[in-house]
Amino acid sequence: MLDFHGDLKASQTERFAQEVSAIIDVAAENDEVVVRLESAGGLVHAYGLAAAQLDRLRTAGLTTTVCIDKVAASGAI
């Protein structure tokens, strides 16, 4: 399970990318990833970089489920 708590600039994106890389490195076939997301929205380009991390998980063949914790407003993944 990964947590992503967004802010206006999606400042956790770099950390999120590192966590995704670590998961991809150790994942086995049929593993699944759950991302718990909370974001009040923010800059579209910054959240685009965060969304690209979800694409990396799917490209690696990992079933990926995103759960909204409290809010996922505009700009959120």
Percent of the chain clearing pLDDT 90 (strictly above): 58
Q: Where would I find the beta strands (DSSP E) of 1-77?
A: 2-5, 32-39, 63-72
> How many CB atoms are located within 10 Å of the residue 20 CB?
23
- What is the value of pTM for the model shown? 0.86
CB–CB of 35/5 below 8 Å? Answer: no
Does 6 have pLDDT greater than 90? no
Share the mean pLDDT of the chain: 90
The kind and range of the H/E element at 46 are: helix 44-59
- Beta strands at 2-5 and 32-39: parallel, antiparallel or unpaired: parallel
Report the pLDDT averaged over residues 48-70. 92
**What pLDDT does 75 receive?**
57
